[in-house]
Amino acid sequence: MESKQVYRIFFLGGLAIATMLMSACNPEDPQPEQRKPDISVAELLQDGGVLVLNEGNFMYGNASLSYYKPSKSEVINDVFYRQNDTPLGDVAQSASLFNGELYVVMNNSGKIMVMNFGKYPSLKAFAFTRKITGLLSPRYISFVDSSKAYISDLYAKSVSIYNPSTLMVSGKINLNNHNPDFYQHPTEQFIVFEDEVFTNCYSFDDKVLVIDRKTDRLIDSIQVLQQPNSMVLDRNGKIWVLCDGGYEGSAYGDNQPGLVRIDAASHTVERIFVLPFDNWPSKLGINGSSDTLFFINGDVWRMPVDATALPTEPFIPSQSGSGSKLFYGLGVNPSTSEIYVSDAIDHLQNGVVYRFSPQGEAIDTFRVGIIPGFFVFY
């Protein structure tokens, strides 16, 4: 396995090269009258599909959205640009479907781009409908009920509350812990469990916060390992949190990574599975029956939720006869439990997505955009 320091050097080196080679870009947002017909809603929704969100290079505005049809093994890239004659923006972090619309979170642009996904029959698929602004560094949007969504943020020290009925940010949940040494609490993903919402604090932090979704108030804080980067909910009501432990030279320290299991009902840490010190795991996912975990740690690893120890052999190796892969993104289709793994290659050229069966057998390979990192299944 690669060490955390090797990954860190690669990431920072790639970012520096990209920054030197490229100038900043702030494209104008599309106007409804500029739409160009491309993919019909009927074609989009037939048989289901997969959306691949390609981050693009930081400060270059070359994020993109790819559309893949598993039933035909066909991919169409740049679907938002093709429909609206304009790019998405700078660094596409995540996306969420709600009420016939697709919400794409643009981290460095500080906005969420909303597009048609069947809500408006008179519009083509991926046609721009509006944007959510007034955000600092948004990461994820989660619709906690039919009338409310939470938006996490890297720098705001708060969670924004969005009302899909009024189409406006209606308030914020203050999460500032007033730590003078680190910019806490940043927020990432959300898990809704009964009347509570759990969010992991990744950058320079070691907490999972609990919010009462009825009152929009912080009610608890759960300490996990250092830098929890992703989490999932299993069929037993347990929240699994993957922590990378930081990296060498970090002011926050460099500690052991691992998997933490939390009982969602009691907020109790039940089990900690510690990984080797120099590992840097990421992108925790779970299958359709919510009984098997998957994550990237150089290779792709698989672990049943009732396992008593970490796996010892990789499920999908990054090294093969066809060469070495830089696994970057991971998603598991909840309907089929097929696994999708992206290869960012050198973070500058268009990436690749590998599709595997639930048993890890290769099914398909297709090219997408730059730095594919997030999957949406429908």
Q: Which tens digits make up the pLDDT trace of 181-200?
A: 898 999 999 999 999 999 99
* Cα–Cα distance measured from residue 38 to residue 317, given in angstroms and rounded to the nearest whole number: 37
Which residues, at least 6 apart from 57, have a Cβ–Cβ distance to it below 8 Å?
18, 22, 347, 348, 370, 371
* 4-233+327-377 is classed CATH 3.90.420.10: no
pTM to 2 decimals? 0.90
Q: What is the pLDDT of residues 100-136, one digit of tens each?
A: 999 999 999 999 999 999 999 889 999 999 999 999 9
Supply the pLDDT for residue 216. 98
Strands 217-223 and 207-212, by their bridges, are antiparallel
* Cα–Cα distance measured from residue 195 to residue 220, given in angstroms and rounded to the nearest whole number: 13
* Cα–Cα distance measured from residue 277 to residue 258, given in angstroms and rounded to the nearest whole number: 9
Mean pLDDT along residues 48-73: 96
**Cα–Cα separations (whole angstroms), residue 9 to 2, 5, 19, 170, 247:** 11, 6, 15, 40, 10
Mean pLDDT along residues 279-302: 98
Domain coordinates in residue numbering, the chain: 4-233+327-377
Predicted confidence band at 4 (pLDDT cuts at 50, 70, 90)?
low
The residue ranking higher by pLDDT, 29 or 162, is: 162
Mean pLDDT along residues 325-336: 97
Among residues 120, 91, 122, which one has the least CA distance to residue 108? Answer: 91
The residue ranking higher by pLDDT, 317 or 23, is: 317
Which residues, at least 6 apart from 100, have a Cβ–Cβ distance to it below 8 Å?
116, 117, 118, 119, 120
Q: What is the average pLDDT score of the chain?
A: 91
Supply the pLDDT for residue 8. 46
Supply the pLDDT for residue 33. 44
Position 5 pLDDT exceeds 70: no
* Cα–Cα distance measured from residue 340 to residue 359, given in angstroms and rounded to the nearest whole number: 12
Position 78 pLDDT exceeds 70: yes
* Cα–Cα distance measured from residue 153 to residue 93, given in angstroms and rounded to the nearest whole number: 11
Position 17 pLDDT exceeds 50: no
Output the furthest CA–CA distance in the chain (Å, rounded): 57
3-state secondary structure of 21: helix
The residue ranking higher by pLDDT, 181 or 5, is: 181
Supply the pLDDT for residue 23. 36
Mean pLDDT along residues 336-354: 97
CB of 342 closer than 8 Å to CB of 51: no
Q: Which two tokens stand for residue 177?
A: 């812990």
